[in-house]
Structure 1
């Protein structure tokens, strides 16, 4: 089953290094780039470049460069007309060798805002208009788990991810109505317990994105699709780390239904990040983890449109939620 991301959410899973690819739809104010990875145990440095054009030696609107060199620091710069600008430095290292990390670049009106592991780290003022940026480059002593482009739209000649090639480029835009949708803006690092309201209810083709981190000591957490008026749970997802199980169920008319546990793989492990895409279909939920199909859950609540609350509770830190 192909993973087809909703417009405005364009992920790339387990990319190889060096990474040098176009940013879907380009960069604009309000968009974000979200990177999950792991620093090498012997890390010396890595970089993330926001590049103008596909020339490897082209201009760089923003150069982000952590360096472990005895004077651990992060260097920020830009390159315009083939010449580097004045360096900005922060003598603070938010990355740990051998550890997982999440790195978010938010494109705001005056600057790039850099957030590492949920904590604001730096603001780099625009030296080149972000609209000029077309490509993202990443390389160095790290392993990439995922790169997610948030807020951009596919360019007119770009094939939406998950769709096979088609001889008519206009085919994809004639069929955009078949793509999953997202209604609300992204929420970064919300507290847990989390409760988000699904404005308009849970409609077919609506997609919920949940990105998070399971603490090394985590044992269990839950994700509930709830009807506020009755307390019914149309879908209850419960990763149980001690059992190595991901339990799915419903709670209707004050009674739990039959559990479902069968999985081809389990993406939830202590000390690791996860990326869930939960899509509501007409007859079932389709759930993907890190871009791979995880399970389907047939609707037990026929009026699933009454679901108006998303709940997340337990041993989890939320990085990003979009409902």
Structure 2
């Protein structure tokens, strides 16, 4: 049975209407990531960040695209009373097309990006600390819901999880590199989501020693070949390739949502909520592995490291 890695609790393909918890609640610096598709017959849909899962809960942020009217309505609701409506006469959504929404909580309010572009900032009207649930309704199909940048998992009793303690980087260009001082420790988790574009040949994710460029873990999906190669590079020499996987999710035109988790004896790789493979450590000094690289044929949506 699959168990999500610690600190990584996305929701995949939920039915709509959907209501679910945000464990630990929202706070400044967190981001809500939602990826889905607008069906052909769509008229409107809504996202509510609200203070509880019960019907009638206060809504800190209401986001509702109206496709037939080519606008987006934003509001809040407190004590059953709606606030002053904000209507944006611009619609960054289209029927039969996929979309990505990122709602980042900043000091001033809810900062919304759609498909990588700034859309609108809705100023706080209710304390963000009271928001602990997400509701989705209307004409929409949802593939992924993720909470990044400090969320906690059920059973963690409010303590921040190390895997999500840092803010995510959204839409970085590839090649992308990130240095994490102090190196790896067991349970350190990297979360990467991106689109494998049409015509993609291959891309790579490397965990390496920045001072020597030794690659402790090289993950190399080769899309045209239909292989997922893993290896290590020590003193400019590649080791023995590993290719066996439980499944291969890397296909042209598909989003991939994957996690690399460092454990005491190995790296574990999960893709789209399923365990894909393990890779036993070949570089024993984890604290010296201090750099993440992502390069090649992938359009990165976010990296959380």
Report the TM-score when normalising by structure 1: 0.87
What displacement does 1:24 show? 0.8
Q: Does 1:188 align with 2:170?
A: yes
Structure 2 unaligned segments of length 5 or more: list them. none
**Contact 2:40 2:95 survives alignment (8 Å):** yes
Partner of 1:78: 76
Partner of 2:65: 66
Deviations 1:56-97 (A, max 9, x none): 12322211011111x311111112221222221112221232
Partner of 2:155: 159
Q: Evaluate the alpha carbon distance shift between residue 98 and residue 216 of structure 1 in structure 2; reply closer, same or farther with a 3 A threshold.
A: farther
Cα distance in 1 for partners of 2:249, 2:116 equals: 21
Cα distance in 1 for partners of 2:203, 2:147 equals: 27
Report the TM-score when normalising by structure 2: 0.92
Deviates more, 1:73-82 or 1:183-192: 183-192
Deviations 1:158-192 (A, max 9, x none): 435xxxxxxxxxxx79xx89x76456432222221
- Equivalent of 1:93, from 87, 91, 97? 91
Deviates more, 1:183-192 or 1:116-125: 183-192
Partner of 2:49: 50
Structure 1 unaligned segments of length 5 or more: list them. 161-171
SS at match of 2:287: helix
What displacement does 1:281 show? 1.2
Cα distance in 1 for partners of 2:76, 2:164 equals: 34
What displacement does 1:37 show? 1.5
Partner of 1:122: 120
**Contact 1:3 1:288 survives alignment (8 Å):** no
CA RMSD in angstroms comes to 2.2
Partner of 1:198: 180
Matches for 1:135-284 after TM superposition, within 5 Å:
135-154=133-152, 158-159=154-155, 181=163, 184-284=166-266
Cα distance in 2 for partners of 1:112, 1:266 equals: 36
Q: Evaluate the alpha carbon distance shift between residue 180 and residue 284 of structure 1 in structure 2; reply closer, same or farther with a 3 A threshold.
A: farther
Partner of 1:12: 11
Q: Evaluate the alpha carbon distance shift between residue 303 and residue 132 of structure 1 in structure 2; reply closer, same or farther with a 3 A threshold.
A: closer
